[in-house]
Amino acid sequence: MANEIKKAIIPVAGLGTRFLPLSKVLPKEFFPLVDKPVIQYIIEEAKNSGISEIIFVISPAQKMILNYFKKDSALEKILIKRKKENLLKELKDFESSFDGLSFSFVVQRNPLGDGHAVLQAAKLIGDEPVAVLFADDVVYGDEPALSQLMGIYKTCNCPVIALKKMPLEKLPAYGVPLIEKIASRLHKIKKLVEKPEISKAPSDLVVVGKYILNPEVFSYLKKATPSKRGEIILADVFDKMMMDGKIIYGYEFKGEWLECGDKEKWLHSFLFLSLKNPKYGQGLKNYLKQIK
């Protein structure tokens, strides 16, 4: 099918400066949320949405992600030798959770914007629609947020951007769309305004790092003029497309948006998922009651 989406781009080449000094030794996508790293939640969302090929955009120094999803035969042998059956089962369950997924990697040699990162994967995409998932944004809910966006794309074949309502006082920290409502949760985006003043915010919705891109977006990315900082920014490319009369939709996905873009947001997300966790949640709630 021409509009079937089987590939997802996950950019992880950022410097993680908001997490210094931690990010000097641990890439931010490997920060834990309960008992697994942020990136694993993103991969699970992709797989549960029907994605079969993951394309990571990495920096030249990024080594950890190359090994994380590989089968670790040496560790298995150690666990077998030490008769750690429970740990061996956990490891095998982890490895089998990625069955049906293939992984590939492209390098972004310099951090030149989110659009530039996505563009590095163009040769592996070809003339297909593709999902883009940033590792700052985890969603807790019944249906994967990406799956919801894919459902919209199947009916329109136009780019789809994930949106979420936010309190007015928080809007200046985000990209905010000017919208025309089409249906419940579905909007036609007219313009994207980056970090507006509260009084000038065009809506109470913000852009979340999850997208469906059609091949036309890559045509615009290839021709994009870098910003004053020398970066290619997805929002600028979307604005250029809309100026040219192209249609871009925004969808308010269902689910709890757990941000991991800075230390405080990551801690909030860690606490939220920890308290929701079936294994650890009740014990943590009991412990919190004891803290004075």
- Looking at residue 222, its pLDDT comes to 94
Q: How far is residue 211's CA from residue 133's CA, in Å, rounded to a whole number?
A: 7
Q: Which residues of the chain have pLDDT under 50?
A: 1
Contact 39, 98 (CB under 8 A): no
- Looking at residue 167, its pLDDT comes to 95
Q: Specify the CATH number for 7-290; select among 3.90.550.10, 3.30.390.50, 3.40.228.10, 3.40.50.2300.
A: 3.90.550.10
HSE, CB side, 13 Å, CA atoms: give it for residue 47. 14
DSSP state of 60: T
pLDDT digits (tens, 9 = 90+) for 135-160: 999 999 999 999 999 999 999 999 99
- Looking at residue 2, its pLDDT comes to 58
Q: How far is residue 45's CA from residue 50's CA, in Å, rounded to a whole number?
A: 9
- Looking at residue 191, its pLDDT comes to 95
- Looking at residue 271, its pLDDT comes to 96
Extents of the domains making up the chain = 7-290
- C-alpha distances (whole Å) from 85 to each of 80, 91, 291 are 7, 10, 35
Q: How far is residue 59's CA from residue 287's CA, in Å, rounded to a whole number?
A: 40
